[in-house]
Structure 1
Amino acid sequence: MRIALLLGLLVLAFPGHALTIAAASSLRQVMPELEAAFREQTPGSPVRVIYGASGKLATQILNGAPYDIFLSADETYPTRLAGQGASATDPEPYAIGRLVLWHRDPQRAPLIPEELAGKDIRRIAIAQPRHAPYGQRAREVLQALNLWQTVEPRLVYGENIGQTAAMVESGAADAGLIAWSLTFTPELADRTYTLIDQKLHSPMTMAMIITRRGADQREAQRFHDFMLSTDARAILEQYGFEAPEED
């Protein structure tokens, strides 16, 4: 409740009612372009984005956090919120996320997951599986390859996928399983990575909802529709997100 109160005060500190979006940390690099494209189509619409692990954002929404839209890293949390009456819309897929194995040494050839068992990889970063979809998928990959028991003692956990990537970038971890989207920055362009086979983990179908708070917010519906547009999907694809399969 304390978090929800603080977030509420933050929103009230700004004049007017900005569209407030709770977004998975894997969207941090792409959101500025999505915001700019949305504003171009809908002038005068202020947007505020709060990033975090999807599970934690979902908990904040249940506790009354003033978010109008929730952009999750998978379908699980929007589906739970809808089932608990915290959503004004059904979960809507907007992208497919991809996982990569990333090494901090730009001079090293790309790793394959099996090499994580090597003793030269002392610390391996993944997002916390309890509340981060990318962490859940990372664990599934390691389990599918029968690596979990070997590498578990060497795992270090980020609270969200952005923090996990920062661990690798800073050298706090030698390698990490992170969101492909977070490698699309000039600072990280020289880092090597290996795209993880999607067959090794459950689908990373990213879904969104309009929350109960956003139900009467016209801008929330506009942004929801924008995220399903060809313009938004073209931007998402530039950052490693794939289009969801059509029904």
Structure 2
Amino acid sequence: MLKRYLLALFPIILLFGCNNAQEEERTLYVAAASDLYHALTEIGNAFAEEYDVNIEYTYGSTGLLTQQIQEGAPFDLFLAAHESFIDQLIRNGAVHEDSKEYYAIGRLVAMSSSEEEVNLDVDYLLSSDVKTITIANPEHAPYGKAAKETLEYWGIWEEIQPKLVLGENIRQSYQYVETGNADVGLIALALMNRTGFYYELIDDASHDTILQALGIPVQSGERELAGQFVEFILSDEGQGLLKEYGFDKPSY
């Protein structure tokens, strides 16, 4: 009798166990601008541990990620390097309007391929010592747009064209300098946290504010969980970690 009871109960136990496993293995798919490569991974690790979830990241240029989301890519959360791309997706019905939040202000630096201190001024950039200068593609990368604005502000945009190498995104531009394939790069400060290369902070008066915003795509199958992650990013802990990587806190 007991044996028959246990056999009858076994499928229920198995089903319950599967359901629990499914709940424990929830995954959040996050698309994020490349400047967040270090900072967001650290924030996400803290969140994943607290909420017992997996987070899968796709880092890239904000413009290309925007295009993917517009075409229906199944991301649960999108952290753009500029609010204009979130606004674009909201207008096109690809991101929930009420999910938009400002989470950071990005800063731009001039990075040298050397660890030795050098004056990264206009004269140096124009000198024969600098053969190549890299920025992210300004057509679809907000940091690239800010870099172009800075070079225009300095009055050397046209003059440095023969030296210019465009990265697909800001992290690729960082890698060009890191590997010696570019002498100087205009790079996100957030990527300099774990480097020994010399760099100088660029005056933010030379370009439009890199006001970064996020939003939850309508394709998300985990809107509640994505919302919890957003709250974590905006919390004192999340903002503290972003500050450690050089982001300023938006006052919007």
Q: What TM-score comes out, normalization by structure 2 length?
A: 0.87
Measure, in 1, the Cα distance between the counterparts of 2:119 and 2:58.
32
Which residue of structure 1 aligns with residue 44 of structure 2? 35
Q: Which residue of 2 aligns with 1:139?
A: 148
For residue 110 of structure 1, report the CA deviation from its aligned partner.
Answer: 4.2
Between the aligned partners of 1:146 and 1:106, the Cα distance in structure 2 is 27
Q: Is 2:238 aligned against 1:232?
A: yes
Superposed, 1:18-97 pairs within 5 Å as 18-42=27-51, 44-90=52-98, 91-97=100-106
State how far apart, in whole Å, the 2-side matches of 1:182 and 1:117 are: 25
Q: Which residue of 1 aligns with 2:212?
A: 206
With over 3 angstroms needed to count, the CA separation of the structure-2 counterparts of 1:123 and 1:35, relative to structure 1, is: same
By how many angstroms is 1:109 displaced?
A: 2.1
* 3-state DSSP of counterpart to 1:19: strand
Instruction: Describe the superposition over 1:149-187 as per-residue Cα deviations: whole angstroms up to 9, x where unpaired.
Output: 1111210010000100000011111000000011111xx
How big is the shift at 1:39?
Answer: 2.1
Whether contact under 8 Å (2:216, 2:223) holds in the other structure is no
**Kindly, what percent of the aligned residue pairs are identical?**
38
Aligned CA distance change for structure 1 residues 39 and 110 (closer, same or farther; 3 Å)? farther
What is the rounded CA distance, in whole Å, between the counterparts of 1:113 and 1:184 in structure 2?
A: 25
For 1:221, the equivalent position in structure 2 comes to 227
> Does the Cα contact within 8 Å between 2:62 and 2:85 map onto a contact in 1?
yes
**Deviation >4 Å, runs of 4+:** none
Cα distance in 2 between the residues matched to 1:214 and 1:237: 28
Unpaired segments ≥5 residues, structure 2: 1-21
Change (3 A) 1:205 1:114: farther
Q: 2:76, 2:222 within 8 Å by CA — same for their partners in 1?
A: no
**CA distance in 1 between partners of 2:188 and 2:213 (Å):** 16
Q: What one-letter code is carried by the residue in structure 2 that aligns with 1:71? A: L
1:179-190 matches, within 5 Å, as: 179-185=188-194, 188-189=195-196
Residue type at the aligned position of 1:111 = L
> What value does the CA root-mean-square deviation take over the aligned residues?
1.5
2: CA distance, partners of 1:116 / 1:215: 48
1:112/1:194 contact within 8 Å kept: no
Alignment partner of 2:200 out of 179, 194, 199: 194
Q: What is the aligned length? A: 228
CA positional deviation for 1:18: 1.1
Query: How far has the Cα of 1:218 moved from its partner?
Result: 1.6
Deviation (angstroms), 1:69: 0.5
Q: Give the TM-score of the pair, scaled to structure 1.
A: 0.88
TM superposition shift of 1:108: 3.6
Q: What secondary structure is seen at the aligned counterpart in 1 of 2:97?
A: coil
3-state SS of 1:65 partner? coil
- Aligned pairs for 1:110-129 (under 5 A) are 110-129=119-138
Check whether the contact 1:53–1:132 (CA below 8 A) recurs between aligned residues. Answer: yes
As a proportion of its length, which structure holds more helix? 2
